[in-house]
Structure 1
């Protein structure tokens, strides 16, 4: 991995996200509020447009959203680009996030989207599509991450002093079928850092493309608020 390290933060704990989604689930039940769209609507739109171009719905791709939260990204794939809901999967380690996403799916007529509780760093995502192998390894045409890698990077270090995200790139890569893609959006890591962390010999991922955002200048340095980078799994 690249050399960047973050101090542990409450944002990197399951307790924090359980609290967030407990509040959002209560709010949904009381007033129908679907909760916050992390990184905003623009990031969702741009990721969905990238997917439609490079992994089109006409190919019936299997798509997994890692840390799906309230499901906003998957709902946009379904509603805006007509991806098959039966082939859209979301996982989150917060039970209330999964309950919230399922309730919103019912409301939006997208109940066929699958949401499951899963701790990505220690568990493989459940898979239920009868047309595919029951094994989730080398299954997915597209993996998505919008902020989950960022949150994990803020977790406690292991007993070897390594960041919680140390195992993330290899765990992600093993799920992607040869020729499949991984698309990640981050606010904590630059494009160069993401490329250094994910495009390695161990993962078999190669840099594919990036999504452009408006740039800003501060202190003589220019940059974008987010980095969205796509990687492709080698076919060998």
Structure 2
């Protein structure tokens, strides 16, 4: 398990990956309240988790695999919704973003409206306690949400198990799950999702060298529901 944050783009986000005690709805409310204010005043859409390359990496995979433009896509923990906008620009027509922070959904709604898209669905949802309608997706995407849940100071193990159960319900049979993590290695993620999922592909991510050893700053995997 990794506990470092290498990207400078994280500097303006709460230190949830370094300090688990900062997890919680109040912490995220404060983050998105600031980002919402910045968008209203300056038109700044805010941070992209793991940088723009993280979005490009996932989109490349979807294009390579000829995922149809009408495939249902769920962005788990959508934040400011920028990834949804990029998918919509490419022509994807059945995309949904969820976040348990209402201010995040408010922010993403305003960004999406500014970009001129009206067919993107947004919902305030706690993925650990999802509504019954959150099901049947062809693609589920996670960039950092599982990381945050994994570092919860209260009941992290149980929450991870619940996450996997929720993911199984959200995905249709043989649906794909694309996860980007800066806290978990490939081996650890394979262990976490072994019940109900099989690995399809590891996506290339940036490497670094420290103390004579090389590694990846993030892990990006594609799973398929069994």
Q: TM-score, normalised by structure 1?
A: 0.83
CA–CA separation in structure 2 for the residues paired with 1:184 and 1:68: 13
2:162 to 163, 167, 173: 167
- Matched with 2:106 is 99
Aligned counterpart, 2:147? 150
- Cα deviation 1:178-212 (Å, max 9, x = unaligned): 11100000000111111110122xxx211111110
**For 1:90, what is the secondary structure of its paired residue?**
strand
Give the conservation status (yes or no) of the 8 Å contact 1:184–1:230. yes
CA distance in 1, matches of 2:18, 2:158: 9
Q: Distance in 2 between matches of 1:124 and 1:10?
A: 27
Name stretches of at least 5 consecutive residues in structure 1 with no aligned partner.
Answer: 126-134
Q: Is the 8 A contact 1:48 1:73 kept in 2?
A: no
Conserved 8 A contact 2:2-2:183: no
Query: In structure 2, do the counterparts of structure 1 residues 33 and 11 end up closer, same or farther at CA, with 3 Å as the change threshold?
Result: same
Deviations 1:48-105 (A, max 9, x none): 11122235234x11000000000111111111x2211xx1000001111000100011
What CA distance in whole angstroms lies between the structure 2 residues aligned with 1:8 and 1:142?
30
By how many angstroms is 1:107 displaced?
A: 0.6
Query: In the alignment, what sits opposite 1:69?
Result: 79
Distance 1:11 1:231, change over 3 A: farther
**8 Å Cα contact 2:79-2:105 kept in structure 1:** yes
TM-score, scaled relative to structure 2 = 0.87
Matched, 1:189 2:198: no
- Give the aligned CA root-mean-square deviation in angstroms: 2.1
Residue in structure 1 matched with residue 92 of structure 2 by the alignment: 83
